[in-house]
Amino acid sequence: MRLYVLSRRKLVISLLVLITVGGLFAVQHSLTTPSLVRAPGTYYKANTQEKVVALTFDDGPDPIDTPSVLDILKEKEVRATFFVLGEAAQSNPILLKRIVLEGHEIGNHSFKHDYQQRHLVEEMNQTDQAVFAATGTHTYFYRPPGGFVSQNQLDTIKKNGHIVALWSVDSKDWRNPGVKQIVDNVMRNVFPGAIILMHDGGYQRTQTVKALGPIIVALRDQGYRLVTLSELKTMDSEIK
Ligand SMILES: [Zn+2]
């Protein structure tokens, strides 16, 4: 998510959407981030009773933090989903290859992390090309920078062959609130079918790296299985 750089107009629109959409959703689950717009047609959780969740990492790949995240996932035998930035992907093709070789999924997080997504399709395609060049696979899920997406953008993304994937549990690691707080933010809000937001790039992710192992252990202690976004989607009882 990185820093919020929003025009006043955009902020007002976002707040209005948040109040309308958030009000409805808050009945079911407490809202975990002000940037989250769970518009109809976006994918932010699986409808399932099964204790299964998906860990997602945004803003990488990062030459320092992504390998640390991958090492922990490998040691714990967890597969996750990485929403990469095209420009970071282009600079770190070997890391991208490692992500895929170790069984993880790659999602599209735009090219430059422009919150307003002024060149939405171009950036999405550029990122997809960078991922394809490094790994031979295409991206399927798209996560808009900051989680902001308008209905028009949603339609455009769909037409471009992607599904908008948001999240339902925000670790808030982007605030660097301390390792324990990151673990608590996940464990207090987790539920069957949740998509969990974390970050492996964009800024120093030392706290995320330290919190990841304890999060995996705590989730498993509660009986949760950790899967990729595509796997989670196959368990959704209301697939559209
Ligand atoms: Zn981001």
- pLDDT, average across residues 129-139: 97
C-alpha 58 – ligand 1 centre gap (Å): 5
pLDDT tens profile 183-226: 999 999 999 999 999 999 998 999 999 999 999 999 999 999 99
User: Does pLDDT of 240 surpass 70?
Assistant: no
pLDDT band at 227 (very low <50, low <70, confident <90, very high): very high
C-alpha 116 – ligand 1 centre gap (Å): 12
CA distance 150 to 14: 9
pTM over 0.95: no
pLDDT tens profile 69-128: 999 999 999 999 999 999 999 999 999 999 999 999 999 999 999 999 999 999 999 999
What residues contact residue 158 under an 8 Å CB cut-off, 6+ apart? 41, 164
C-alpha 57 – ligand 1 centre gap (Å): 9
Among all residues, which ones are annotated catalytic?
A: 58, 199
C-alpha 52 – ligand 1 centre gap (Å): 24
Residue 148: its pLDDT value, please? 87
Contacts 24+ apart (CB under 8 A), 149-153: 149/37, 149/39, 149/42, 149/117, 151/39, 153/117, 153/120
User: Does pLDDT of 47 surpass 60?
Assistant: yes
Residue 237: its pLDDT value, please? 84
CA distance 130 to 143: 16
Give the CA-trace dihedral at 134, 135, 140, 145, to 10 degrees. -40
Q: Which residues of 193-205 are buried (b: 16+ CB within 10 A; e: fewer)?
A: bbbbbbbbbbbeb
Of these ranges, 66-70, 143-147, 152-156, the one predicted with the greatest mean pLDDT is 66-70
185 versus 28: the higher-pLDDT residue is 185
105 versus 41: the higher-pLDDT residue is 105
C-alpha 127 – ligand 1 centre gap (Å): 14
- pLDDT, average across residues 54-65: 98
C-alpha 37 – ligand 1 centre gap (Å): 14
